[in-house]
Structure 1
Amino acid sequence: MPSQKNPILDRRKQVPEQSTWWFKLSLAQKFSASSLGKFGYELSFIRNDEGHSLAVLMCDSGIAVVTEDGDINTSPNIKLR
């Protein structure tokens, strides 16, 4: 009897490419944000820090930021209002 696999559960509320912030990301940020999306992170907003773009993604378990170069930090020192 063949075993049945559980379908993959996608917790995202919307497709990232439909976010109004998505078009403001660099190509490297888009790749990193897509990778984080597989873990439930969603692009929340972009912060401009001294002329540099910083993408802020959130999920139930925390916050992650992605630099213009695509570097991911899942333990950022960032304050949200």
Structure 2
Amino acid sequence: MTQVAYQINDRRNKEVLKNDEHWDLTTADQKLALYDLHRFGYRLLFVRNMLTGPVAVISQQDDIAAIYADGEVDLRPKITLREYH
């Protein structure tokens, strides 16, 4: 299954969350995984709430990865980011 993640306001024109607000949406397992990946240059882009729980979308330069609610890291997720123009 391919997930589409939006890097800007979604189509409902909700307010864009700040990075610390996204951080607050992550689970403890996601925070631990991101701490480990931070030393390799990964940073939190945003969090999306899915039916299976929150998905933290992270990046390192042009590489996108996902951390699922249980802390599992997917370095090759099927996520498409929409470009903001």
TM-score (norm 1): 0.72
Q: How does 1:1-80 map to 2 (within 5 A)?
A: 19-80=20-81
Point out where structure 1 has 5 or more consecutive residues left out of the alignment: 1-17
Point out where structure 2 has 5 or more consecutive residues left out of the alignment: 1-18
Aligned-pair distance for 1:20? 2.4
> Which entry has the higher C-alpha Rg, 1 or 2?
1
Alignment RMSD: 1.4
Correspondence for 2:9: none
Structure 1 stretches (4+) deviating beyond 4 angstroms?
Answer: none
Deviation sequence 1:20-75 (CA, Å, 0-9, x none): 21111110000001111111010000012225110000111401100000000111
**1:53/1:37 CA distance change after superposition, 3 Å:** same
Amino acid at match of 1:77: K
Could you say which structure has the greater relative contact order, defined with CA pairs below 8 angstroms and 6 or more residues apart?
Answer: 2
The number of aligned residues is 64
SS of structure 1 residue aligned to 2:47:
strand
TM-score (norm 2): 0.68
Greater per-residue strand proportion = 2
Measure, in 1, the Cα distance between the counterparts of 2:49 and 2:73.
16
